[in-house]
Amino acid sequence: MDKFIVTGGSRLSGTVSISGAKNASLALMPTCLLASGVFTLHNTPNNRDVHTFSLLLEQMGVQWKLEKNVLTLDSTNITSHEAPYEYVKQMRASIYVLGPLVARYGEAMVSLPGGCNFGPRPVDLHLKGLEKLGAEITIESGYIHAKCKRLQGTHFHFDVSSVGATVNILMAAVLAHGQTTLTNAAFEPEVIAIADMLVDMGAQISGIGTPTLEIQGVDALHAANQTTIPDRIEAGTFLIAAAMTKGNVTLENVQPSHLAAEIQKLEEAGCVVTATENSVTISMDDDPQPVDITAAPYPAYPTDTQAQWAAFMMKCKGAATIKDTIYPTRFGYVPELQRLGADIETGDGYAIVRGGSSLTGATVMSSDLRASASLVMAGMIAEGETEILRVYHLDRGYEGMEHKLTSLGANIRREQTEEF
Ligand code: EPZ
């Protein structure tokens, strides 16, 4: 078990390269189940979730190698159509193998994902979509059994905009017989990335980047390669970390258009932000103005950076309200920030952060991937040392975070610990 020790007071400055998007990689990897061959995914982040997904695919017969952020997947010899609980309990995105397996092999046995630290994570839309495509779905002993000789094109409307369900149903529909229309589909950059990948593999998809996708099913697809888009959530995390420490930081290898909502909020808070085609520079000389955010589906402010915004607003001159319309209970980080001295009130689906209280280091507990990032950032502005336990949460979605922060001048180190 590892922990981070962060000493507050450093001002971040310099340049950092942002990794490929975890949530794009986790959607791209299962496309290798849709065709036989060797797939090369460039700019793949070397983080824990990518490793977990690689092991899941390996036990299904995929051979893989991840070297210098290039992931090669060889799906020539698939031997299993099952995703065991031991993988799904570690990473919900394991359910992404469901659509491809049913579409290509006519069957799948995938463990139901468990709960999550920030609330219920249902998969009803994944299952309803597959049933609408003609799959027979049964749930037995915690496993989803899905069967269908050949999926049939249909019209499926997503009751809510769901990244995961859109990814899963899209990967099923591309091999279905006939035309499929998906309405109220998610169109996050990560969904666009996988749709582009499927087209490169020979799929026929129109409406990419919009909530309505038209898919003309094909009989077979072929292997393809792709360069993973930059991680907009890591980028947002680093932009806020720079602003919190009154720093001056340039992020390289980013797509500024993916960060429009975050950049607007940072400018409202008083930051100066400039961008080129693939970089963003942020500087901040003062404590931030209080700025409210409401997390919602793209292109709104992302739920995956609302915890980081709360940490930022601990320094604001006033009070800022943070709402999350996607995960109304995603505020598990609040009690941990309160241990550092933060003045935060929470209610149903919101938190109110009152700035100005003095922050002193303490031992805090990570509860989920993005909460742990907000604790690291809070430690950078607290007096003294902050210990962040259970950084395995953070390692799931950030590649070498302590090294990147150290290169920008943060005082952070990783230590082994027996503490749990
Ligand atoms: C993806 O999760 C991301 N994970 C999450 O990032 C992100 O927070 C989330 O999208 C929202 O943007 C990956 O891409 C691997 P959803 P996902 O389906 O697909 C409801 C991180 O930190 N819903 O878009 O599971 C659901 O309850 C992770 O990197 C249903 O009701 O999220 C939620 O309210 C955390 N039924 C809303 O839709 C379903 O069948 C959006 O969830 C599926 C979802």
Backbone angles phi, psi at 342, to 5 degrees: -70, 145
Q: Can you give the pTM of this predicted structure?
A: 0.97
Cβ-Cβ contacts under 8 Å for 396 (sequence gap 6 or more): 22, 47, 48, 49, 91, 369
- pLDDT tens digit string along 55-108? 999 999 999 999 999 999 999 999 999 999 999 988 999 999 999 999 999 999
Whether ligand 1 lies within 6 angstroms of the CB of 303 is answered as: yes
Do the domains at 2-19+230-416 and 22-227 have one common CATH topology? yes
Measured CA distances, 373 to 28, 123, 263, 417 (Å): 24, 26, 18, 19
Residue linked to tokens 């409401």: 294
Residue 74, amino acid: D
97's tokens? 């193998």
d(C-alpha 373, C-alpha 111), whole Å: 28
Ligand 1 atom closest to the CA of 326, numbered from 1 = 34
d(C-alpha 174, C-alpha 195), whole Å: 10
d(C-alpha 45, C-alpha 66), whole Å: 9
Residue 115 confidence (pLDDT): 65
Whole-number Å distance, alpha carbon 121 to ligand 1 midpoint, is 7
Residue linked to tokens 């290509």: 104
Which residue's CA is minimally distant from atom 17 of ligand 1?
164
Which portions of the chain are predicted below pLDDT 50? none
The full 3-state SS of the chain, as one line of letters, equals: CEEEEEECCCCCEEEEECCECHHHHHHHHHHHHHCCCEEEEECCCCCHHHHHHHHHHHCCCCEEEEECCEEEEECCCCCCCEECHHHHCCCHHHHHHHHHHHHHHCEEEEECCCCCCCCCCCCHHHHHHHHHCCCEEEEECCEEEEECCCCECCEEECCCCCHHHHHHHHHHHCCCECEEEEECCCCCHHHHHHHHHHHHCCCEEECCCCCCEEEECCCCCCCCEEECCECHHHHHHHHHHHHHCCCEEEEECCCHHHHHHHHHHHHHCCCEEEECCCEEEEECCCCCCCCCEEECCCCCECHHHHHHHHHHHCCCCCEEEEEECCCCCCCCCHHHHHHCCCEEEEECCEEEEECCCCCECCEEECCCHHHHHHHHHHHHHCECEEEEECCHHHHCCCCCHHHHHHHCCCEEEEEECCCC
d(C-alpha 64, C-alpha 70), whole Å: 10
Whole-number Å distance, alpha carbon 163 to ligand 1 midpoint, is 6
Residue 348: how many CB atoms within 10 A of its CB?
Answer: 7
Exposure on the CB side of residue 375, measured as CA atoms within 13 A = 33
Residue 66: how many CB atoms within 10 A of its CB?
Answer: 16
Whether ligand 1 lies within 6 angstroms of the CB of 394 is answered as: no
Cβ atoms of residues 78 and 33 within 8 Å: yes
| Ranges of each domain in the chain | 2-19+230-416, 22-227
32 has catalytic annotation: no
Domain 2-19+230-416 is in which class? alpha beta
Choose the catalytic residue: 32, 116, 148, 271.
116
Mean pLDDT of the chain: 96
d(C-alpha 352, C-alpha 66), whole Å: 42
Whole-number Å distance, alpha carbon 372 to ligand 1 midpoint, is 18
Whether ligand 1 lies within 6 angstroms of the CB of 325 is answered as: no
Residue 131 confidence (pLDDT): 98
Whether ligand 1 lies within 6 angstroms of the CB of 125 is answered as: yes
Whether ligand 1 lies within 6 angstroms of the CB of 124 is answered as: yes
Which residue's CA is minimally distant from atom 33 of ligand 1?
326
Cβ atoms of residues 309 and 337 within 8 Å: no
Whether ligand 1 lies within 6 angstroms of the CB of 388 is answered as: no
Cβ atoms of residues 172 and 134 within 8 Å: no
d(C-alpha 341, C-alpha 232), whole Å: 29
The CA radius of gyration of the chain, in Å to the nearest whole number, is: 21
d(C-alpha 183, C-alpha 76), whole Å: 34
Ligand 1 atom closest to the CA of 125, numbered from 1 = 40
Query: Cα torsion at 258, 279, 375, 328 (round to 10°)?
Result: -10
Out of 25, 121, 156, 368, give the residue to mutate to test ligand 1, the one with the largest number of ligand atoms within 8 Å of its CB: 121
Residue 110 confidence (pLDDT): 97
Whole-number Å distance, alpha carbon 205 to ligand 1 midpoint, is 23
- pLDDT tens digit string along 8-57? 999 999 999 999 999 999 999 999 999 999 999 999 999 999 999 999 99
Q: Which CATH number fits domain 22-227: 3.65.10.10, 3.20.20.70, 3.40.50.300, 3.40.50.11540?
A: 3.65.10.10
d(C-alpha 376, C-alpha 241), whole Å: 9
Residue 1 confidence (pLDDT): 85
Residue 284, amino acid: M
Whether ligand 1 lies within 6 angstroms of the CB of 115 is answered as: no
Whether ligand 1 lies within 6 angstroms of the CB of 165 is answered as: yes
